[in-house]
Amino acid sequence: MSYVVGIVGATGAVGQELVRLMRERNFPLSQLRLLASSRSAGKTIQVGDEKIVVEEAKPGVFADIDVAFFAAGGGVTRALAQDAVAAGCLVIDKSSALRMRDDVPLVIPEINPEQLQSHGGIIANPNCSTAVMLMGLWPLHQTFGLKRIFVSTYQSVSGTGAEAIDELDAQVRASVAGEAITSRVYPHQIAYNCIPHVDTFGADGYTGEETKMAQESRKIMGLPDLKVSATCVRVPVLRAHSIAVSAEFERPVDLTAARAAVAAFAGAELIDDPANNRYPTPLECAEHVRCGVGRLRIDTALDNGISFWVSGDNLWKGAALNAVQNAELMIREGWLAAKAASAAV
């Protein structure tokens, strides 16, 4: 069986990765519909041997679409997801708009795939940094029982979008040429710099990204009382996020068992041989299905603690790949037949 698939936000970075991944993974497509804002409607995008005209994403366009991947931001999700569900379309949403709603499952297929069966028409994709971090943390939790985590992220500019990639490139070129450096996307120069400011600051001093990592980790892992302290930092890397994690567990930890758990986990690749300079890096992990996990060591400040480093592609596991994997699993298990269950969310 094949499906009519729509991509909302098809001209953006994640939308283009969705197009690429569905082709590379032989997703069962009968038709691909590319949707975007009125500004992009009418453009033509080459997809393999086919030229597809971009349609405007608006109410009424979802009637013949089986699955719609939303990759256009929370405002678009709030405006159009209801209409898509009412038309019988399954929505898989990248934005943060609906992630924390009790009636919307937030799913990483390697961790909580059973949640895919309880959707009411919408499935949420986790935040990019959360998804990458949990590829290293989940197998350790299953082995030792997670209690609390302290995390610092090193997030690439592609997480902000194509304009941030262009800004980093322009700033590097300007620096080499001895020209003035200007910043439009970020509040400070990103070239040769680190900015501890991802999303907006809340009244508690934490940014939205830091709050998302805490809230989403609790929901996905089924640990409502998990203690999380996060600091999220934008770094001058083009693609793939990295995260340093110090985690405390309920049970005594053992490095041999920890490495074995990570190596056996479907979402992770163990890269942990510091003596030979083998550990994950963003360059190495970009455009990889699995996230690299390494630098595993006993934490010296926490009881029953392990520290580790994880790198993963924010445009893949942190966005497009996770969404496609969720859709693939629903098709494989026959759950897609329930996409029109009940009325709109």
The residues annotated as belonging to the active site are 128, 241
Which two structure tokens, joined as six digits, stand for 270?
Answer: 């163990």
Question: Residues at the annotated binding site?
Answer: 11-14, 39-40, 99, 155, 158-159, 234, 314
Alpha carbons 59 and 336: distance in angstroms, whole number: 22
Alpha helices in 199-305 (DSSP H): 208-221, 255-264, 282-285
- Numbered residues of the known binding site for phosphate: 99
Distant-in-sequence, close-in-space partners of 15: CB < 8 Å, separation ≥ 6 = 7, 8, 9, 34, 36, 69, 71, 72
**Parallel, antiparallel or unpaired: strands 67-70 and 3-8:** parallel
Largest CA distance in the chain: 61
- Tokens encoding 215: 């809230």
The pairing of beta strand 29-36 with beta strand 55-56: parallel
Cβ count within 10 A of residue 12: 20
Report the binding-site residues for substrate: 155, 234
